[in-house]
Amino acid sequence: MLGFLIAIGIISIIVIAIFITITVYKSFAINHSNRIKKLIELNYKYRFYDFVSNNQEHTYDNENFYNDISEQDYLIYQLQFISSKVNEQIKLMRYNSDLKFKYQIDLKEIKNDQTYDKVPKGFILKLLNKIEEKAFDKLIQDPCTNYYVEVKLKLSNINGDVYSSKTRTFYSEDILQLIKRLNNKRGSFHNDRGIWEAICRVERGKVTNKMRFAVYQRDGYRCRYCHRGENKVTLEVDHIYPIAKGGKSTFENLQTLCHDCNVKKGDSIY
């Protein structure tokens, strides 16, 4: 037991000694390395913009909606509201890209100057240079230059437990192309059919199972047209003002219809 405690004590002393040595070497390197001083000045000269995430995430409790709606569909829908923010971020990341090119040229000029403004007496030069190298590399700026949006769609059960998910990352060029297609419209009418269909799919998918059953309960589990109940017909949730005409998936815009009445109604507004 005594031998074990002595061994632990020796190991502890060695660990502390190593820690102190590294700390002293690192302090000397940061304070006296010529290229670290130049790098700090360079970093002050080159100010890059931070990456601001506009990642999207949504959970569906309906497997049909989850399977029907793609990550691109969801991004198209969200771009209706965040396109100005996304466009601004893309511009800033392109600025970063141009500035990073200049930064790397200036960085190359100072990178090989691994000298010190003070003679490192009592130091193991090889170890000092190694620690200085790590400190230098850690200070090099590595800004984001390519903007992206990650879209993650999840599928949960009735208790909210997620059991499936899908993710896709969209980069600047893809996003700009989607925004261009999204903006191709007359008034509120989208000329690109694929864009409009994507928006409709996502809007339809906003009707959760919880909302669906709330609508059924509000309407007494009966069709609001023919008044037949669930024991006689198959009930469905219908958008009073159709999605195809700009209707939204709000509680007030939903009603209970049987399958036959829903088919008969189609995209009519009544």
Class of residue 69 by CB neighbours under 10 A (exposed 0-12, middle 13-18, buried 19+): buried
Residue 137 CA: distances (Å) to CA of 113, 140, 238: 13, 5, 60
pLDDT the model gives residue 230: 84
Question: For the segment 51-97, what is each residue's pLDDT rounded down to a tens digit?
Answer: 999 999 999 999 999 999 999 999 999 999 999 999 999 999 999 99
Decide: 262 and 242 in contact? Cβ < 8 Å.
no
Question: For the segment 24-42, what is each residue's pLDDT rounded down to a tens digit?
Answer: 778 888 888 999 999 999 9
- Tell the residue number behind the tokens 């601004």, with chain if given: 88
pLDDT the model gives residue 159: 84
Tokens of 104: 């790397």
For helices 125-139 and 34-45, angle between their N-to-C axes, nearest 10 degrees: 0
Question: For the segment 204-254, what is each residue's pLDDT rounded down to a tens digit?
Answer: 999 999 899 999 999 999 999 999 998 889 999 999 999 888 899 999 999
Burial 215-228 (b: 16+ CB within 10 A, else e): bbeebeebbebeee
Decide: 46 and 174 in contact? Cβ < 8 Å.
no
Decide: 152 and 167 in contact? Cβ < 8 Å.
yes
Question: For the segment 166-208, what is each residue's pLDDT rounded down to a tens digit?
Answer: 999 999 999 999 999 999 998 888 999 999 999 999 999 999 9
- 128 closest CA partner among 33, 30, 19, 29: 29
